[in-house]
């Protein structure tokens, strides 16, 4: 749902379906998914979960990782040190608060600022690209009304576009909603220095958010209390080392949240690695040891296959910000999307499908989806140019006949 103002200055809502097939998106918070995965992992008989251990060194050639017990400072100022528990019974060496552990295979799923990636880059040459988007993100919590009712339609993702900035709202299951304010870095700095301008900024850029969803006081309190987060993209030319290490999730590809595919891409990393590489390799090599987690050559095959896809998805997420800022697309874009939706619904054999549907509602490779979308754009542009040339020729001929 795109929220704007009409030519009379009244609030306007424009509903834009995700696809012509009635597809929908189910939303969950990352923290909730992470908690559920940890609970599921803890129930596995062959898994051990350790908290408060920081990776401080990783020697990939010798397959040794060193962890350190970390100290946390509680809200009351008390410093709490993690229990000095053994990491393993047979493969650890304790030296003070540090423990060295031998491993057969290590998966770096430790986020955008990955420690495993840092150590991998010390062992091998890695083409690495980190790029910041010149905007900041600030989270907002949008409560229900006094009766506990929703303030927004729960069947839509809500967007307030405004040139170089955008406000995005995702409804929650409990009736509340989570919002994200995206604006240029300089604008955040100006508002931080001049808090009295924040309410007018919301009225001008995100009409209706104040007071329909947030009070001016709540918006100001949250803006100054919450972190102003940088958004960046990361691409890696290598995401594996020999047969002993692989990077998954944000450690191997970081993207801004505009397409909603960051965590989904990470989860797909796991599915692709196991379904298409590790599991088939185990089935094919009947003589492989059952204790071998990742058969020889699998990591190299996976990384060669996966890198083009995650880099394509990163580009797609970065480019989608331009669409969000635009809000309601221009007539050419609208026409192309309508043509794609009609062909997808009435002529599926042509495989003429919008890129969003290919990526979000299917399992097509991201690099293939991006390539097909480029082809469809070229076809549409060519057909449109031909029609315009034909119409112009008809008009010229008609005009010549009148002379």
Q: In tens digits, what is the pLDDT along the chain, a chain of 403 residues?
A: 889 888 888 888 888 877 777 788 888 878 888 899 999 999 999 899 888 899 999 999 999 999 998 876 555 555 555 544 444 433 444 445 889 999 999 999 999 999 999 999 999 999 999 999 889 999 999 999 888 888 898 888 899 988 888 999 998 888 889 999 999 999 999 999 999 999 999 999 999 999 999 999 999 999 999 999 999 999 999 999 999 999 999 999 999 988 889 999 999 999 999 999 988 887 776 555 556 788 889 999 999 999 999 999 999 998 888 777 765 566 777 777 778 777 877 777 788 888 888 899 888 999 999 999 999 888 888 888 888 888 888 887 776 665 5
Dihedral sign for Cα atoms in the order 156, 157, 162, 167: positive
pLDDT for position 327: 56
Residue 228 CB neighbour total at 10 angstroms? 17
* β-bridge pairing 165-171 and 64-69: unpaired
What the block records as the tokens of 281 is: 């390799």
- CB contact burial 267-296 (16+ within 10 A = b; e otherwise): ebbeebbeeebbeebbeeeeeeeeebebbe
Full-model pTM: 0.83
What the block records as the tokens of 123 is: 């062992």
The residues, any chain, with a CB within 8 Å of residue 187's CB and separated by 6 or more, are 164, 165, 201
pLDDT for position 72: 67
Q: Which of 90, 103, 89 is nearest to 55 (CA)?
A: 103
Terminal CA-to-CA distance of the chain, rounded, Å?
51
The residues, any chain, with a CB within 8 Å of residue 295's CB and separated by 6 or more, are 243, 278, 281, 282, 285, 288
pLDDT for position 329: 60
pLDDT for position 291: 63
2 in Cβ contact with 13 (< 8 Å): yes
pLDDT for position 367: 95
- The DSSP symbol for 276 reads I
Q: Which of 1, 23, 22 is nearest to 361 (CA)?
A: 23
């Amino acid at each position: 749902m795109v929220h704007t103002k009409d030519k009379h200055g009244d609030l306007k809502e424009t509903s834009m379906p995700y696809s012509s097939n009635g597809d929908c998106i189910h939303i969950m918070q990352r923290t909730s998914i992470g908690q559920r995965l940890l609970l599921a992992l803890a129930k596995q008989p062959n898994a051990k979960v350790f908290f408060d251990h920081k990776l401080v060194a990783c020697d990939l050639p010798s397959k040794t990782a060193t962890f350190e017990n970390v100290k946390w400072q509680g809200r009351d100022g008390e410093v709490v040190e993690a229990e000095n528990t053994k990491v393993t019974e047979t493969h650890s060496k304790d030296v003070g608060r540090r423990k060295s552990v031998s491993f057969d295979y290590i998966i770096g799923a430790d986020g955008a600022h990955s420690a495993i990636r840092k150590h991998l880059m010390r062992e091998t040459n890695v083409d690495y690209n980190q790029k910041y988007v010149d905007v900041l993100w600030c989270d907002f919590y949008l409560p229900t009304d006094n009766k506990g009712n929703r303030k927004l339609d729960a069947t839509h993702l809500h967007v307030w576009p405004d040139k170089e900035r955008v406000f995005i709202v995702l409804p929650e299951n409990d009736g509340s909603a989570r919002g994200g304010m995206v604006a240029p870095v300089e604008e955040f700095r100006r508002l931080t220095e001049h808090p009295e301008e924040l309410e007018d900024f919301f009225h001008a850029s995100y009409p209706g958010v104040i007071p329909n969803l947030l009070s001016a006081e709540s918006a100001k309190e949250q803006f100054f209390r919450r972190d102003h987060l940088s958004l960046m993209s990361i691409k890696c030319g290598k995401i594996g080392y020999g047969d002993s290490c692989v990077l998954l999730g944000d450690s191997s590809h970081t993207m801004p949240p505009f397409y909603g595919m960051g965590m989904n891409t990470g989860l797909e990393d796991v599915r692709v690695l196991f379904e298409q590489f590790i599991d088939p390799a185990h089935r094919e090599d009947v003589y492989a040891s059952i204790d071998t987690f990742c058969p020889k050559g699998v990591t190299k095959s996976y990384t060669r296959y996966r890198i083009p896809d995650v880099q394509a998805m990163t580009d797609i997420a970065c480019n989608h910000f331009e669409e969000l800022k635009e809000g309601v697309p221009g007539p050419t874009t609208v026409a192309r999307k309508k043509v794609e939706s009609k062909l997808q619904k009435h002529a599926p054999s042509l495989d003429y499908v919008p890129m969003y549907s290919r990526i979000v509602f299917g399992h097509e490779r991201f690099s293939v989806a991006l390539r097909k979308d480029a082809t469809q754009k070229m076809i549409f542009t060519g057909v449109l140019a031909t029609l315009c040339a034909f119409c112009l020729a008809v008009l010229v001929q008609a005009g010549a006949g009148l002379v």
